[in-house]
Amino acid sequence: MSSGGENYFTRERLDLLRREIERDGIVPDEFLARDPDCPVFGLNLACAYPFPPEPAPAYLALASKLAGLDPAACVYPLEQTHVTIMTFLNFSLYRRPSPEKLAELRSWIGPVIDLARTWFEEAGVRCFRLEFQPPALTRKAAILPIINPSGEIARLRRGMGEALRGDKAVCERVRQGGLNVPGIIHSTVMRFREAPANLAGFTAGFDAVAAASVPFSADIREILLTVETRPYMRQGEIVHRFPLAGAQEPHVR
């Protein structure tokens, strides 16, 4: 797992990803291709949902350029943007849940809040800054790599993992529900409803957008527990907020 103190996407990794794209092509997303508004249920620990006002103009300018590359690209609108810290219940496992299943899934929100609240109160995590880097292209998506110089995201992931291991009931339920801790810090901003018609033209255009993009940053003052009711937070809600130490101070240190 990356510590988040540097950009995971080195030139070597980007070149490897590009060779994979040229060899195997872009992978259309099964939800966006067939049923983009399929009712789902996911439960995630996240931040920057959506991106806060300070970086919003920079993101909107980038999103506009990405959206113009090809009609096959589905670029996240600002209200859909987020940074996932960890997934407790994976939405892809819970498609069109019945009322009874939905009630059972929602019954786990309270226990997860209680577990996380206890950890946050003891850990005393302070507000921190995320630095968003130029977009990187994979076969499935375009993402914004993120640097967290002071390491809070890695600490959160480790700490919440330890807290889960201390609560067997919650740990077992989320393991069954697709518990996932991303290995890097990133924000997905584009997926594909189909493969671009002109792959070479698309990748060339993407490279030009990435080269011209300007990194931006966001101050994180709270961590969020979110429910995902449409794929990729096309619809979702914040069910709990965990304020960080120093949240009322004017500047993040």
pLDDT exceeds cutoff 70 at 253: no
Could you report the per-residue pLDDT of 119-157, keeping only the tens digit for each? 999 999 999 999 999 999 999 999 999 999 999 999 999
Structural domain boundaries in the chain? 11-243
Q: Give me the chain's average pLDDT, please.
A: 96
Which residues neighbour 27 within 8 Å (Cβ) at sequence distance 6 or greater?
139, 140, 192, 195
**Quick one: pLDDT band at residue 247, thresholds 50, 70, 90?**
confident
Helix (H) or strand (E) holding 27: none
**Quick one: pLDDT band at residue 248, thresholds 50, 70, 90?**
confident
**Quick one: pLDDT band at residue 184, thresholds 50, 70, 90?**
very high
**Quick one: pLDDT band at residue 1, thresholds 50, 70, 90?**
low
CA–CA dist 51, 47 (Å, integer): 8
Left, alpha or beta for 25 (phi > 0: left; psi -120 to 50: alpha)? left
CATH superfamily, domain 11-243, is: Cyclic phosphodiesterase (3.90.1140.10)
Could you report the per-residue pLDDT of 65-88, keeping only the tens digit for each? 999 999 999 999 999 999 999 999
CA 220, distance to chain mean position in Å, is 14
CA–CA dist 142, 193 (Å, integer): 13
Q: Which two structure tokens, joined as six digits, stand for 93?
A: 């496992």
Which residues neighbour 83 within 8 Å (Cβ) at sequence distance 6 or greater?
46, 47, 48, 49, 130, 146, 185, 186, 187
Answer whether 0.75 is exceeded by the pTM. yes
